[in-house]
Structure 1
Amino acid sequence: MFGYMKIYKEELKVKDYRKYQAYYCGLCKRLKEKYGFLGQITLTYDMTFLIILLTSLYEYKSKYMEETCAIHPVKKHPFLWNEATDYGADMNIALCYFHMMDKWEDEKKTSSYLLMGALRKSYKEVGKKYKRQYRVMKGCLNKLRQCEKREEKRIDLAARYFGQLLGELFVYEEDVWEKTLRRMGFYLGKFIYILDAYDDLEKDIING
């Protein structure tokens, strides 16, 4: 259910695309600095979207630098990051942990189990730091698993739980924007859940 919040590159101006990439690379950089290589492999477009949204809304002052990295070892490229980037990095870890847990329970993939174990310590640290988000995230994912186990036919019910999860993640600061951000995340989360279910429809029919 992750990786759907992507840009449509053809519709962006060159300067806007470069800025987006700089925030994406900034998230990758902070994931590595905070959580090492394991943090980097959890990188998603979804949290990049949230970082840019929060940065635009709260006008956080971003740091800028140009350097090479493992993916771009020859030519220097720009990085942008700020307070919202650190929040996005932390939420990325929590989401990836729960995603691996879900994949392990559904598919029993060894790779999911190993990554879940490797992220457990970092995930617990994030849970202590962001208790509100952690509580809602854990509760919603438990409800989603219950829906799957009883083969819930009402897709809107399951979509609501994922919407509540994403809605809570969108609320970084509990202030005047809280209600708007939660509502935005809620409906976006519902849409993503239904889109993901549609993408899996053919596979689910084949597997019964």
Structure 2
Amino acid sequence: LYEGETECVQGCGHCPIHPVRKIHWRSSGPTDYCADLSVALHYYNAQDKWNDDHSLLGLGFEKLLAAPTQDAAARWPRQCEAIRSCLDQLAEYEAAGSEDLDAVSGCFGQLMAELFDYKQDHWSPELRSIGFHLGKYIYLLDAYDDLERDQRKGAYNPLKTLSQQPGYEEEMREIFELLLARCAKSFERLPCVEDADLLRNILYSGVWLKYNCKNAKKEK
């Protein structure tokens, strides 16, 4: 969407994944933005795992990512504050055992809307719509995928009651289709040219992979 608006820097060097062989890399404003927010999301996720489950792995990642997340928050305070506040609100809903699908998925939708709103410019309405509906889809798909495991463990899942109702599978399919249709509608309003076919492949096909895999296992 912002093709050509920021300088693209290229280079070659070592990284933790390739410590011996040098690799070519390139960096620009949007890619740096995504890298910063990926770090922040992993940090807050690790923090929650330590606070909720006393996961030592979560604690390790929290310590490892603390300094990079502080740097990211200095560059993107609005987005990082949204991550923290939305996850806090989501934790409250989950602690209360809420089965209000619109409310609980809406928390993650609001989080993603803030992250997609890169520059708060004239593209914001469409970007926020994509982020909001994609965030709701991600949250509900995770709940759908984790339902059997959560039932075995007695863990929270907002779909527990709904899953016992007739027509559950059809209703979930309709919810997923509606959310992704709204994503696609907003995406098609954007003047994306470079890699547009790849983006469409992800939006129209790739995001269904987890859902399709789960239902293929059920059929077997």
TM-score (norm 2): 0.62
State how many pairs are aligned: 154
Which amino acid is 1:151 matched to? G
Share of identical aligned residues, percent? Answer: 37
Establish whether residue 163 from structure 1 lines up as the match of residue 109 from structure 2.
Answer: yes
Superposition deviation, residue 159 in structure 1: 0.7
5 Å matches for 1:105-144? 105-144=51-90
5+ residue gaps in structure 1?
1-53
Superposed CA offset, 1:99-122 (max 9, x none)? 111222332211101211222222
Radius of gyration: which is bigger?
2
TM-score (norm 1): 0.65
Superposition CA RMSD, Å = 2.2
Partner of 2:31: 85
State the alpha-carbon separation in 2 of the partners of residues 113 and 206 from structure 1.
26
Change (3 A) 1:110 1:72: closer
Superposed CA offset, 1:54-73 (max 9, x none)? 554x6544334466756457
Which amino acid is 2:47 matched to? M
5 Å matches for 1:141-156? 141-156=87-102
Change (3 A) 1:128 1:79: closer
Partner of 2:50: 104
State the alpha-carbon separation in 2 of the partners of residues 157 and 114 from structure 1.
31
Change (3 A) 1:62 1:162: same
Runs of 4+ that moved beyond 3 A: 58-61, 63-78
Superposed CA offset, 1:34-91 (max 9, x none)? xxxxxxxxxxxxxxxxxxxx554x6544334466756457876543321111111111
Which amino acid is 2:103 matched to? L
